[in-house]
Amino acid sequence: MKKRVEDAFILTCNVSLEYEKTEVSSGFFYKTAEEKEKLVKAERKFIEDRVQKIIDLKDKVCAQSNKGFVVINQKGIDPFSLDALAKHGIVALRRAKRRNMERLSLACGGVAVNSLEDLNVDFLGYAGLVHEYTVGEEKFTFVENCINPRSVTLLVKGPNKHTLTQIKDAVRDGLRAIKNAIEDGCVVPGAGAVEVAIAEALVTYKHSIQGRTRLGVQAFADALLIIPKVLAQNSGYDLQETLVKVQAEHSESKQPVGIDLN
């Protein structure tokens, strides 16, 4: 079976393509060996009919093009069915996890089917590339170049588990920040920009009041500047010089200005 398929139709299904035992406890009594052989052939034909429906759909949609065809099944596919599908140029993946099946439908489009009856083109999704890739000691199947996907996977790599955890947390925090910004319609800048802006506003406000209150306002402004000072110090910058530059740029531009750690 091919390891790489380009420009492919994707059929996601939850249909058994292998012989399964019945859910009820039952038994059969044969009078002759021919009767047993007949029953085995009937059971095999039941699965072959399902496989043939997939093959017929593939022949229908790929008759006038060189597009590929991939079947991703949540249930099992026996070797005979895999061989029959492979002979017709169909790549089949079995026992996919349910959560991945849901994501595939969102990424590729199409509809996950629980029955192969009335199978048609409307149930199919699309992917520009489906290929197998080895990550570490495990093999993964990548579905890429989808049209307007509503579900994606981020592959995070790192030298050890601790680093991977840190990267994963950072990515998750970043995605949540973007989500909140889209939903709220606004953002609060970081890198000490907010604290510098508030401190400057407090210093300006201090001149409009009298008495000991001015000391409290100044103390609060100085306390806010601790955050950009710590950021500058931890980054290896000169503390006073960096703070003066940030305050000066903020005063000139009247825009939030933080400390660039890159």
User: For residue 84, what are its two tokens?
Assistant: 């029959």
Segments in the chain forming alpha helices (H): 33-61, 79-87, 98-108, 161-184, 193-206, 213-224, 226-234, 239-253
Task: Give mean pLDDT, residues 78-97.
Answer: 89
Position 89 confidence tier, pLDDT thresholds 50, 70, 90: confident
What are the beta bridge partners of residue 92?
71
What are the beta bridge partners of residue 222?
none
Q: Tokens 């970081």 identify what position?
A: 190
Q: What percent of the chain has pLDDT over 90?
A: 6
Model confidence at 250: pLDDT above 90: no
* Superfamily, domain 4-150: GroEL (3.50.7.10)
pLDDT tens sequence across 191-249: 888 888 888 888 888 888 888 888 888 888 888 888 888 888 888 887 788 888 888 88
Quote the distance between the C-alpha of residue 16 and its chain's center.
26
* Superfamily, domain 193-253: GroEL-like equatorial domain (1.10.560.10)
* Delimiting residues of CATH 1.10.560.10 domain(s) in the chain: 193-253
User: For residue 186, what are its two tokens?
Assistant: 């606004």
pLDDT tens sequence across 140-196: 888 888 888 888 888 888 888 899 999 999 999 989 988 998 998 888 887 888 888
In one letter, which amino acid is 32?
T
Closest CA to 148 of 128, 164, 134, 162: 128
* Delimiting residues of CATH 3.50.7.10 domain(s) in the chain: 4-150
